[in-house]
Amino acid sequence: MLLPLNAAPEQKKTPPPQATEGDAPEVVEVGVWPTVIYNLDVHSNTFYMTAYVWFIWRGEIDPTQTVEFTNNVESWGLTKMKTYPKPITFPDGRHYQSMRIEGRFFQPFSLLRFPLENHTVSLSIEDNTYAADKLVYRFDQRHSGLDAGLTIPGWTVQSWSGREGVHHYASNMGDETVGSDSSDYGTILFEVKVTRPVNFFIWKMLLPLVIILLACWTALLLHPSQLASRAAMTGTALLTTVFMQQGYTSNLPEVNYLVLMDKIYVVVYLLIILSLVQVVIQGAMDKKHLLDDFRKAQLIDKTSVVVQALVFMLALWVIL
């Protein structure tokens, strides 16, 4: 069970007996319709959602009284506004109630493929009182979905899914009336898959790196005797790459692994350092008058540019 980050967990309550042993549990249909998802924050692993959630049931238990959104992180900030003062009854005897909820929810995000990562934001629904032998959830696949106007700034909404299940607790929460050392509760998990637009990676992350590499390779095309210009261009390319990496890492949380963009930067660092070493060696040879044939040195430089470009494209293909 996910616990709120800023509030004490809601405790399971023992209700008065509603059914005798052997009776089937009450089945509750649960549907979800998000209208707004915003402020997806990879630093705090949270997001905000506004959604309509409805319940349809037949028995005497009113599930709207005991429903819990288990990945909510600010219980004081969660709003639940019911559509009807009391549940309404359909002609076939089923009861219906819906509510509009809005709050901040927890979702662990993986940044391994930043900035081409896919994320799943989810809403976890669970009854906080009645165990699975008294009440179970069934997901209303037919009527659930996403609002047509739902957009997340900076992200592309791909798809949604929902499923019911049972959350097993290896503890009875100290409630000895349960009759066992564990307990099960019905759950609904509604998920929305989102991804960063590819254009963000191409134009804001990859293109500046390509420009830096082109400037670095241009230095190798200068005459080997122009040591100062060649060294300045490759050295500037290296420093610029360092500053660019610091720029995007400052917008990411502290992680103990290399993200996809870090791996690309490692390749770029190696290529720039290789160019810088090549410039320094040729400059030292020229100073000692060991580089009498500049045509051979120029051929080596041009070959190095072609090889580095191929290595970069191959590494990019492998990493992506």
Domain-wise residue ranges, the chain: 26-196, 199-319
Give the pLDDT confidence score for residue 15 in this predicted structure: 45
CB 114 within 8 A of CB 258: no
**Sequence-ordered list of residues with C-beta below 8 angstroms from that of 233, at least 6 positions apart, any chain:** 215, 216, 218, 219, 222
Burial readout 130-140 (b: 16 or more C-beta within 10 A, e: otherwise): bbbbbbbbebb
C-alpha dist (Å) from residue 179 to 87, 169, 184, 187: 32, 14, 12, 21
Which run of H or of E encompasses 66?
A: none
pLDDT digits (tens, 9 = 90+) for 141-197: 999 999 998 999 889 999 999 999 999 988 888 877 776 778 899 999 999 999 999
State whether residue 72 is helix, strand or coil: strand
Q: Where are the alpha helices (DSSP H) in the chain?
A: 198-199, 207-220, 227-249, 260-287, 294-319
Please state, in angstroms and rounded to a whole number, the distance separating the CA atoms of residues 300 and 222. Answer: 12
The DSSP bridge pattern shows strands 118-127 and 67-69 to be antiparallel
C-alpha dist (Å) from residue 77 to 63, 99, 152, 316: 21, 16, 21, 44
pLDDT digits (tens, 9 = 90+) for 169-183: 888 888 777 767 788
Give the pLDDT confidence score for residue 10 in this predicted structure: 45
Lowest mean pLDDT among 20-34, 77-91, 233-247, 283-297: 283-297
Task: Return the bridge partners of 245, or none.
Answer: none
Please state, in angstroms and rounded to a whole number, the distance separating the CA atoms of residues 262 and 39. Answer: 25
Class of domain 199-319: mainly alpha
pLDDT digits (tens, 9 = 90+) for 261-285: 999 999 999 999 999 999 988 877 7
Percent of the chain at pLDDT > 90 equals 71
Residues constituting the chain: 320
What mean pLDDT do residues 216-222 have? 92
Q: Phi first, then psi: give them for residue 244, nearest 5 degrees.
A: -65, -40
Q: Is 290 left (phi over 0), alpha (psi -120 to 50) or beta?
A: alpha
State whether residue 223 is helix, strand or coil: coil
pLDDT digits (tens, 9 = 90+) for 48-98: 999 999 999 999 999 999 999 999 998 899 999 999 999 999 999 999 999
For the record, the structure tokens of 191 come out as 């998920």
State whether residue 228 is helix, strand or coil: helix
Say if residue 14's pLDDT is above 90: no
CATH number of 26-196: 2.70.170.10
Give the pLDDT confidence score for residue 22 in this predicted structure: 53
